[in-house]
Protein backbone atom coordinates (compact mmCIF):
# COMPACT_ATOMS: atom_id res chain seq x y z
CA UNK A 1 0.00 0.00 0.00
CA UNK A 2 2.80 2.42 0.89
CA UNK A 3 4.56 1.65 -2.36
CA UNK A 4 1.34 2.21 -4.28
CA UNK A 5 0.88 5.55 -2.53
CA UNK A 6 4.46 6.52 -3.34
CA UNK A 7 3.90 5.54 -6.96
CA UNK A 8 0.69 7.56 -7.05
CA UNK A 9 2.47 10.54 -5.52
CA UNK A 10 5.30 10.28 -8.00
CA UNK A 11 2.83 10.11 -10.87
CA UNK A 12 1.15 13.23 -9.56
CA UNK A 13 4.51 14.99 -9.39
CA UNK A 14 5.49 13.72 -12.83
CA UNK A 15 2.18 14.86 -14.23
CA UNK A 16 2.62 18.31 -12.71
CA UNK A 17 6.19 18.51 -14.00
CA UNK A 18 5.19 17.28 -17.41
CA UNK A 19 2.39 19.84 -17.53
CA UNK A 20 4.82 22.55 -16.43
CA UNK A 21 7.26 21.52 -19.17
CA UNK A 22 4.85 22.39 -21.96
CA UNK A 23 6.14 25.27 -24.08
CA UNK A 24 5.54 28.68 -22.57
CA UNK A 25 3.27 30.62 -24.91
CA UNK A 26 1.05 33.62 -24.35
CA UNK A 27 -2.34 32.55 -23.03
CA UNK A 28 -4.15 33.95 -26.06
CA UNK A 29 -2.28 31.56 -28.37
CA UNK A 30 -2.73 28.38 -26.34
CA UNK A 31 -5.54 26.18 -27.60
CA UNK A 32 -7.64 24.50 -24.92
CA UNK A 33 -6.57 20.95 -24.18
CA UNK A 34 -8.75 18.26 -25.69
CA UNK A 35 -10.15 15.66 -23.30
CA UNK A 36 -8.10 12.48 -23.08
CA UNK A 37 -10.58 9.59 -23.03
CA UNK A 38 -9.99 6.72 -20.60
CA UNK A 39 -10.18 4.22 -23.46
CA UNK A 40 -7.38 6.04 -25.30
CA UNK A 41 -4.98 5.06 -22.50
CA UNK A 42 -2.99 1.86 -22.86
CA UNK A 43 -3.89 -1.01 -20.50
CA UNK A 44 -0.65 -0.32 -18.59
CA UNK A 45 -1.55 3.36 -18.19
CA UNK A 46 -5.06 2.42 -17.07
CA UNK A 47 -3.58 0.13 -14.44
CA UNK A 48 -1.28 2.88 -13.14
CA UNK A 49 -4.08 5.44 -13.14
CA UNK A 50 -6.90 3.15 -11.96
CA UNK A 51 -7.49 5.36 -8.94
CA UNK A 52 -8.62 8.14 -11.30
CA UNK A 53 -10.98 6.04 -13.43
CA UNK A 54 -14.21 6.78 -11.50
CA UNK A 55 -13.68 10.54 -11.86
CA UNK A 56 -11.67 10.58 -15.10
CA UNK A 57 -14.34 12.31 -17.18
CA UNK A 58 -14.75 15.07 -14.60
CA UNK A 59 -11.03 15.89 -14.53
CA UNK A 60 -9.99 18.97 -16.52
CA UNK A 61 -8.54 17.99 -19.91
CA UNK A 62 -5.16 19.51 -18.93
CA UNK A 63 -5.06 17.24 -15.88
CA UNK A 64 -5.99 14.19 -17.95
CA UNK A 65 -3.21 14.94 -20.42
CA UNK A 66 -0.68 15.58 -17.67
CA UNK A 67 -1.55 12.27 -15.98
CA UNK A 68 -1.39 10.44 -19.31
CA UNK A 69 2.04 11.92 -20.07
CA UNK A 70 3.30 11.19 -16.56
CA UNK A 71 2.14 7.58 -16.73
CA UNK A 72 3.74 7.15 -20.16
CA UNK A 73 7.03 8.50 -18.83
CA UNK A 74 6.82 6.13 -15.86
CA UNK A 75 6.23 3.16 -18.13
CA UNK A 76 9.23 4.10 -20.27
CA UNK A 77 11.60 4.28 -17.29
CA UNK A 78 14.05 1.56 -16.42
CA UNK A 79 13.71 -0.04 -12.97
CA UNK A 80 16.70 2.03 -11.82
CA UNK A 81 15.09 5.24 -13.06
CA UNK A 82 11.89 4.34 -11.24
CA UNK A 83 13.78 3.80 -7.97
CA UNK A 84 15.49 7.17 -8.42
CA UNK A 85 12.16 8.84 -9.17
CA UNK A 86 10.60 7.31 -6.05
CA UNK A 87 13.53 8.55 -3.95
CA UNK A 88 13.17 12.07 -5.39
CA UNK A 89 9.47 12.00 -4.65
CA UNK A 90 10.19 10.88 -1.08
CA UNK A 91 12.53 13.85 -0.66
CA UNK A 92 9.86 16.12 -2.14
CA UNK A 93 7.24 14.82 0.30
CA UNK A 94 9.61 15.32 3.23
CA UNK A 95 10.16 18.99 2.37
CA UNK A 96 8.31 21.61 4.34
CA UNK A 97 5.48 23.20 2.32
CA UNK A 98 7.27 26.57 2.21
CA UNK A 99 10.34 24.96 0.64
CA UNK A 100 8.19 23.14 -1.92
CA UNK A 101 6.50 26.42 -2.82
CA UNK A 102 9.89 28.10 -3.22
CA UNK A 103 11.00 25.33 -5.58
CA UNK A 104 7.77 25.62 -7.59
CA UNK A 105 8.37 29.37 -7.95
CA UNK A 106 11.98 28.81 -9.03
CA UNK A 107 10.78 26.26 -11.58
CA UNK A 108 8.25 28.75 -12.96
CA UNK A 109 10.93 31.45 -13.18
CA UNK A 110 13.19 29.02 -15.02
CA UNK A 111 10.39 28.04 -17.43
CA UNK A 112 9.68 31.71 -18.12
CA UNK A 113 13.24 32.24 -19.38
CA UNK A 114 13.85 32.22 -23.12
CA UNK A 115 15.06 28.81 -24.39
CA UNK A 116 18.63 30.11 -24.90
CA UNK A 117 18.85 31.22 -21.27
CA UNK A 118 17.36 27.93 -20.08
CA UNK A 119 20.09 26.12 -22.01
CA UNK A 120 22.77 28.32 -20.42
CA UNK A 121 21.40 27.54 -16.96
CA UNK A 122 21.43 23.80 -17.76
CA UNK A 123 25.03 24.03 -18.99
CA UNK A 124 26.12 25.95 -15.90
CA UNK A 125 24.44 23.39 -13.69
CA UNK A 126 26.19 20.56 -15.53
CA UNK A 127 29.55 22.29 -15.10
CA UNK A 128 28.79 22.71 -11.39
CA UNK A 129 27.85 19.02 -11.02
CA UNK A 130 31.09 17.97 -12.70
CA UNK A 131 33.23 19.95 -10.25
CA UNK A 132 34.94 18.10 -7.41
CA UNK A 133 32.83 18.02 -4.24
CA UNK A 134 35.22 20.31 -2.36
CA UNK A 135 35.04 22.95 -5.08
CA UNK A 136 31.22 22.80 -5.07
CA UNK A 137 31.24 23.15 -1.30
CA UNK A 138 33.53 26.18 -1.50
CA UNK A 139 31.31 27.84 -4.12
CA UNK A 140 28.21 27.26 -2.02
CA UNK A 141 29.96 28.78 0.97
CA UNK A 142 31.02 31.81 -1.09
CA UNK A 143 27.44 32.25 -2.29
CA UNK A 144 26.05 32.10 1.25
CA UNK A 145 28.49 34.78 2.37
CA UNK A 146 27.49 37.20 -0.38
CA UNK A 147 24.94 39.93 0.16
CA UNK A 148 21.91 39.97 -2.15
CA UNK A 149 23.51 42.82 -4.12
CA UNK A 150 26.72 40.84 -4.56
CA UNK A 151 24.73 37.81 -5.70
CA UNK A 152 22.88 39.87 -8.30
CA UNK A 153 26.18 41.33 -9.48
CA UNK A 154 27.77 37.89 -9.74
CA UNK A 155 24.79 36.59 -11.69
CA UNK A 156 24.98 39.58 -14.04
CA UNK A 157 28.72 39.01 -14.63
CA UNK A 158 28.01 35.33 -15.38
CA UNK A 159 25.35 36.33 -17.93
CA UNK A 160 27.71 38.68 -19.74
CA UNK A 161 30.82 36.48 -19.33
CA UNK A 162 29.63 32.86 -18.91
CA UNK A 163 33.15 31.52 -18.30
CA UNK A 164 34.04 34.15 -15.72
CA UNK A 165 35.29 32.98 -12.34
CA UNK A 166 32.74 33.30 -9.54
CA UNK A 167 32.82 36.61 -7.71
CA UNK A 168 34.52 36.42 -4.35
CA UNK A 169 32.56 37.90 -1.45
CA UNK A 170 34.00 40.99 0.14
CA UNK A 171 34.75 40.65 3.80
CA UNK A 172 32.81 43.01 5.93
CA UNK A 173 34.61 45.50 8.09
CA UNK A 174 38.22 45.04 7.09
CA UNK A 175 40.87 44.22 4.55
CA UNK A 176 40.52 41.44 2.06
pLDDT in tens, 133-165: 999 999 989 989 999 888 888 766 655 555 555
Domain span at residue 5? 1-18+35-112
In this structure, the answer to whether residues 64 and 141 fall within a common structural domain is no
Q: Is 166 helix (H, G, I), strand (E, B) or coil?
A: coil
The verdict on 145 and 61 lying in the same domain is no
Query: What residues contact residue 124 under an 8 Å CB cut-off, 6+ apart?
Result: 158, 162
Helix (H, G, I), strand (E, B) or coil at 95: coil
Q: Is residue 41 part of a domain?
A: yes
Into how many domains does the chain fold?
2
State the Cα–Cα distance between residues 42 and 89, nearest whole angstrom.
24
Which residues touch 157 (CB under 8 Å, ≥6 apart)?
Answer: 164, 167
Same domain, 106 and 119: no
Query: Which of 89, 112, 135 lies at the terminal end of a domain, its last residue?
Result: 112
pTM of the complete model: 0.53
**CA separation for the pair 45, 137 (Å, rounded):** 42
User: Are 81 and 131 part of one and the same domain?
Assistant: no
Same domain, 129 and 72: no
pLDDT tens sequence across 36-94: 789 999 999 999 999 999 999 899 999 999 999 999 999 999 999 999 999 999 999 99
Contact 35, 111 (CB under 8 A): no
125 shares a domain with 147: yes
CA–CA distance, 90 with 114 (Å, rounded to integer): 31
Asked if residue 30 belongs to a domain, the reply is no
Amino acid sequence: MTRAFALFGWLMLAAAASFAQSPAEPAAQVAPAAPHGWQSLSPQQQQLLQRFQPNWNSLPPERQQALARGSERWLNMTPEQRVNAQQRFGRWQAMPPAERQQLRERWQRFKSLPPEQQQKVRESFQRFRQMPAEQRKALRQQWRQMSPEQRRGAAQVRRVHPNAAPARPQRRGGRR
